[in-house]
Chain A
Amino acid sequence: MMLLKILFRNAFHNKLRSSLTILGIAVAILAFGLLRTVISSWYSGVEAASTTRLVTRNAISIIFPLPIAYQEKIRQIAGVKTVSYGNWFGGVYIEEKNFFPNFCVDPKTYFQLYPEFVLDLLQQKAFLADRKGFVAGRKLADRFSWKIGDTVTLKGTIYLGNWDFVLRGIYHGRDETIDETQFFFHWNYLNEVIKKRSPNWADKVGFYMIGISRPDIAPDVALAIDNAFKNSLAETLTETEKAFNQGFIAMSGAIVTAIQMVSFVVIFIIMAVVANTMAMTTRERTGDYSIIKTLGFGAKDITILIFGESLVITATGCIIGVILTFPAAKAFGHSLANYFPVFLVSAETIYYDIAAAFLIAVLAAIIPTRHAIRIRIAAGLRRIG
Chain B
Amino acid sequence: MTDQKSTIVEIRNVYKSYHRQSLIVPVLYDITFDIVEGEFLALMGPSGSGKTTLLNLIAGIDKIDKGTIRVGDVDITTLSETELAHWRANHVGFIFQFYNLIPVLKAIENVELPLHLTSLSKKERHLHAEMALTMVGLAHRMDHYPGEMSGGEQQRVAIARAIVTDPTILVADEPTGDLDRVSAEEILSMIERLNAEMGKTIIMVTHDPRAAQRAKILRHLDKGYLNDDASQNPL
Contact = CB atoms under 8 A, between A and B. Distances in A.
A295 B61 contact: no
B73 to A, nearest CB: 19
Contacts of B117: 295-297
B100 A287 contact: yes
Interface stretch (B38-46, B84-92, B197-205, B219-227): B84-92
B173 to A, nearest CB: 9
B97 interface: yes
Interface in A253-290: 287-288
Q: Interface residues of A toward B: which range?
A: 20 to 34
A376 interface: yes
B102 A6 contact: yes
A73 interface: no
B113 A378 contact: no
A299 to B, nearest CB: 9
Contacts of A291: 94, 100, 102
Given A296-B86, A297-B85, A298-B82, A9 B104 contact: yes
B192 interface: no
Contacts of A10: 104
Nearest to B88: A296
Contact of B109 (A5, A297, A376, A384): A5
The A interface, classified by DSSP as helix, strand, loop or mixed, is: helix
A381 B171 CA distance: 14
B136 interface: no
Given A9-B104, A13-B104, A288-B103, A294 B61 contact: yes
* Most chain B beta-carbon contacts within 10 A, residue among A13, A292, A384, A385: A385
Contacts of A3: 116
A298 B61 CA distance: 13
A6 to B, nearest CB: 6
A293 interface: yes
A294 B103 contact: no
B183 interface: no
A13 B113 contact: no
A2 interface: yes
Contact of A378 (B62, B90, B102): B62
Nearest to A376: B62
A118 interface: no
B62 A377 contact: yes
A2 B120 CA distance: 14
Given A6-B102, A6-B105, A384-B100, A295 B89 contact: yes
B96 A5 contact: no
B56 interface: yes
B72 interface: no
Interface in B56-113: 56, 61-62, 82, 85-86, 88-90, 94, 96-98, 100, 102-105, 109, 112-113
Nearest to B174: A385
Top 3 A-B pairs, shortest CB-CB distance: A296-B89, A9-B104, A377-B61
Given A9-B104, A288-B102, 4 more contacts: A5-B105, A296-B85, A298-B85, A377-B61
5 contacts: A287-B100, A288-B103, A291-B100, A295-B94, A297-B85
